[in-house]
Structure 1
C-alpha cells in the first residue's frame, strides 16, 4: 500500500485543537502529516506538536521556502524536527513564489533553480554535522555548524513542477514534491523523474456531493494559484495552456469575475477531487494507480466539519472498517461509545 497523507492545520480548526484528530490518524489508515506555508501557520510548528501527539506518523514540510529563511535557520528548523521525531521527518524545500518571497517577505526572488540546488547542497553538509564554510552560486556561508548532532539526518525532498527542477529533484534529493495535477498527469511526471524516486503530491479534496458548490470553490482555488507564473507554466507543460488561456486573459485585464467563469468544468474536475467520501477516496487512489507514491490530502473548506471529512477519507478499505469500529476516544472512555 502507498503512503496516505493529510495536510494540517485543517481548515477552520485552531492548531491547539488538533491533538484529538492527530491521535486518531494512524487508526484511520493515514501514514503521514504534511504542512504547507503560505499566510497561515508556518511549516514547522504544527509538526513539532504532531510529533508529540502521534509517534507512528511520518512528518513532512511541503514546503519550506529556501528564500524566506536563511540557510542556517532552515538547517536549525530541520534539526529541531529531526530531533523531535527521529527517522520520521522529511524536510521538503522549494522556491515558493514571487508573491510570497518578494511581495510578502521583502526578499529577492531570483534564479530559483540555483537557489534550491545551493540550499540542498548546504543542508546536506550542515545536517550531516559538518562545519560549513562555502561560497555557493547564490549565497555564502562562513563557519556554520549545528550545535547538536542530527541522527539520523532527515531526508530532503524538493518541490518541483517543470522538467529542469524535476530532474534536479530526482538526481540530487530523496524525493520529489509536486502539486496541481490530475491523476493522468502523474505519468508525465514519472517520465521525467523515473520510477524509483518517491513522488509526493498535494491533492485538493472537496468532499461534498454538491457538485455546483465544489466547482465554485474549485474555481476560486484554481484562479488564485494557476495565475501564478510558475503554476501557469506548469499547466502549460501538462497541456492545459490553451484551455486556461481565457482565464489568464481575463485575470490580466483585472476582471476576476470573468476569470472564474472562464475556467471549464472539466479543468475543475481534473484538478479538484470532489464528491461523496467514497468517490473521493477512489479518485485519490487513482493518483496512486498512476504512479504517485504519497498523496497528501488538502481539504477544501465546505462549511462542514473538517474532522469528519478526515475520518471519512482514509485509504480505501481502511476508512470504512474504521468507521464501523469503536473510536479510540470511546475505547479510553466507554461511556462515550454509542
Structure 2
C-alpha cells in the first residue's frame, strides 16, 4: 500500500508549514501529494506551487468541484499542470453537494451522475485532441445551443502531454462509486472503513462490469484520506479527529441531503449520525463532538500507539484501498511513516 500526503484546503489562510511537509513527503518516498477546495482556496494553485519544488511525487486534486469550472476550463488547467510537472498530474473530480453547488457556485445540482458523465466525456475529448470538441448533452453543449449562434467546435491549441491523463472520481454513494469504476481511472473515497469494504467492492464491481468500462480492478487506483495519529493515549488522539467528523456529519450538507451522514449510517452509526446532525444544526457543536464515540473514529482512522496502528493496518491492506492519504506537518509525517513501515 502506497502513502500520499493530503494538503487539504486552507482554513482562514495558507496552511503553515505546508511546503515543508510536501518536501518531507517526497523525501520519505510518498507516492503523491493532494490538494482540495471547498469555498475558499482552490485546488489547482497549491499543486502548482508544490510541483515547482518537487521532482517525483504525483500531484492530485482531491477534489476539484465540477460546478466551479466548465469542463474545458478544467481540462485546460489539467493539461497545463501536467506539462509543467512533467506528467505528474492526476485530476480528481467531484460533484460536491447542493449547498455548495447552488449556494456558492450558482449552478443547478440535480442529476449529478448524468452531469458527471458528460463532464468527463468532454475532458477526455480535450485530452485526446483527435478532433474539435463537440457534445450535444443535456447539461453541456459544445458548441452552445442558442446564444449568438456563432459557436465553433475547437480543439486545444496546446498538445496535451498525455491523452490518458488519469481522472479519479470522488464518490460516497454506491451509484457514484460504480460510475467511477466505469468511466474513470480511480475512486477517491472519504470516510472509508475496512468494515465497509464489501459494500464498496460490490459497487465498484458493478461499474467494472458495464460495457466499455475503462479499467479493470487490478489497474484501478483508490487513494483514501485516512487520519493517522500516533499517540500513546487512544482517547486523546481520537478527540483530535472528532471535531472534523462532527462538522462533516452534522454540518457539511442540508439535513435531508448530507452524503457524509449517510456513509456513517451505512456503517452502523445511524443513531449517532442523526444525533450529531441534530446537535450541530442546532448550534450545539461541542455536544455534537461529544456524541461521537471513539469506536466510530477507530473504524475510519488509525489512532493510538505505533504497535496498535501496525496491527490494525493489516485490515486496511486487505481492502480496495491502494494509497493511504495522510495529513499533518513534516514532523508528524515522519512519525506516521515510521509507524506504518
TM-score, length-normalised on structure 2? 0.81
Q: 1:135 to 1:11 in 2, by over 3 A?
A: closer
SS at match of 2:156: coil
1:317 CA drift (Å): 6.7
Matches for 1:31-46 after TM superposition, within 5 Å: 31-46=31-46
Equivalent in the alignment of 1:186: 197
- The aligned residue for residue 308 of structure 1 is 331
Deviation at 1:243, TM superposition (A): 3.7
Deviation at 1:232, TM superposition (A): 1.6
Q: Which residue of 2 aligns with 1:156?
A: 167
Shift in alpha-carbon separation, 1:282–1:102, aligned structure 2, 3 A = farther
TM-superposition CA deviations, 1:36-77 (whole Å, max 9, x none): 112453211121122232221111111101111122211111
Match of 1:200 among 211, 223, 231: 223
Q: Which residue of 2 aligns with 1:47?
A: 47
Q: 1:145 aligns with which of 132, 151, 155?
A: 155
Could you say if the C-alpha distance between residues 185 and 18 of structure 1 is closer, same or farther in structure 2, counting changes exceeding 3 Å?
same
Instruction: Establish whether residue 247 from structure 1 lines up as the match of residue 240 from structure 2.
Output: no
1:266 alignment partner, SS class? helix
Q: CA RMSD in A?
A: 2.7
Contact 1:184 1:287 in 2 (8 A): no
Residues 114-164 of structure 1 show CA distances to partners (whole Å, capped at 9, x for unaligned) of 121111111111111142122212222222422201121311111111111
Q: Distance in 2 between matches of 1:45 and 1:284?
A: 33
* Shift, 1:248, TM fit: 2.7
CA distance in structure 1 between the aligned counterparts of 2:308 and 2:29, rounded to whole angstroms? 17
Q: Deviations over 1:277-299 (max 9, x none)?
A: 56446545642332311111133
CA gap 1:82/1:294 in 2 versus in 1, 3 angstroms: same
Q: What is residue 132 of structure 1 aligned with on the other side?
A: 133
Number of residues of Structure 1 aligned to a counterpart in Structure 2: 311
**Cα distance 1:48–1:281, how it changes in 2: closer, same or farther (>3 A)?**
farther
Give the equivalent residue in structure 1 for 2:187. Answer: 176
Inter-partner Cα distance in structure 2 for 1:316 and 1:285: 13
Aligned partners of 2:337, 2:229: CA distance in 1, in Å?
Answer: 14
**Deviation string, structure 1 residues 247-268 (Cα, Å, up to 9, x no partner):** 2333344433332232222112
Partner of 1:93: helix, strand, or coil? strand
Q: Corresponding residue for 2:30? A: 30
Q: Are the counterparts in 2 of residues 59 and 90 from structure 1 also a CA contact under 8 Å?
A: yes
Q: Distance in 2 between matches of 1:19 and 1:295?
A: 20
Within 5 A, what are the aligned runs for 1:85-104?
Answer: 85-104=85-104
- Determine if contact 1:9/1:46 at 8 Å carries over to the other structure: no
1:56 counterpart SS class: coil
Judging changes above 3 Å, is the alpha-carbon distance between structure 1 residues 141 and 206 closer, same or farther for their aligned structure 2 residues?
farther
CA distance in 1, matches of 2:282, 2:24: 47
The Cα of 1:240 is off from its aligned counterpart by 2.7
The aligned residue for residue 6 of structure 1 is: 5
CA distance in 1: counterparts of 2:333 and 2:40, whole angstroms: 20
Is residue 266 of structure 1 aligned with residue 278 of structure 2? Answer: no
Q: Which residue does the alignment assign to 2:319?
A: 290
- Determine the structure 2 residue equivalent to 1:321: none
Q: Which of 143, 161, 178 is the equivalent residue of 1:167?
A: 178
* Cα contact 1:203–1:297 (8 A) shared by 2: yes
Match of 2:209 in 1: none
Going from structure 1 to structure 2, the CA distance change for 1:98 and 1:315 (only over 3 Å counts) comes to farther
> What is residue 327 of structure 1 aligned with on the other side?
none
Distance 1:242 1:127, change over 3 A: same
- 1:219 aligned residue: 242
SS in 1 for 2:60: strand
What SS does structure 1 have at the residue aligned with 2:2?
Answer: coil
Gaps of 5+ in 1: 300-305, 319-338
- Give the secondary structure class of the aligned counterpart of 2:187: strand
279-288 or 232-241: bigger deviation: 279-288
- Tell me, in whole angstroms, the C-alpha distance in 2 between the residues paired with 1:11 and 1:213: 24
Q: The residue matched to 1:291 in structure 2 has which SS?
A: coil
